[in-house]
Amino acid sequence: MIERLRTGARMSKIVKHNGVAYLCGQVGSGDNVTEQTQDCLSRVDALLTEAGSDREHIMQATVWLSDMADFAEMNAVWDDWVPEGHAPARACGEARLARDVLKVEIIIIAAIKT
């Protein structure tokens, strides 16, 4: 069974299937990549909790940066956020994001805690 949470006309915030939670892409507020990444990951935490998961159960992350020059700054926030020993498979690339002010977007796939 597929369960969709907080579904709108265009997307669901969370889709759950076979013990896996798929989160929609998250962006954050702030003036720089550090602030936006911190806010983005705070939103991820809230969605993980709602989905019945947490940081230790993240299996895969996709990170999009509007400028790869921000890679080290984003990683400084990411590295503090990911629990030691629980780093997911991750990809990071540069992309044009939905709005010019956005610097980072993160997409998460996580196992649901049993």
In the 3-class helix/strand/coil scheme, how is 33-59 assigned residue by residue? HHHHHHHHHHHHHHHHHHHCCCHHHEE
State the Cα–Cα distance between residues 28 and 57, nearest whole angstrom.
22
Encoding tokens for residue 2? 């597929």
The β-bridge partners of 3 are 16
Predicted local confidence at residue 87, as pLDDT: 98
pLDDT per residue as tens digits for the range 5-39: 999 999 999 999 999 999 999 999 999 999 999 99
pLDDT per residue as tens digits for the range 48-68: 999 999 999 999 999 999 999
**Whole-prediction pTM value?**
0.95
Please report the domains of the chain, with CATH numbers, ordered by start residue: 2-111 (3.30.1330.40)
pLDDT per residue as tens digits for the range 71-105: 999 999 999 999 999 999 999 999 999 999 999 99
114 has pLDDT over 90: no
- Residue among 2, 12, 24 nearest 107 (CA): 24
- Residue among 61, 66, 58, 10 nearest 36 (CA): 66
State the Cα–Cα distance between residues 50 and 16, nearest whole angstrom.
11
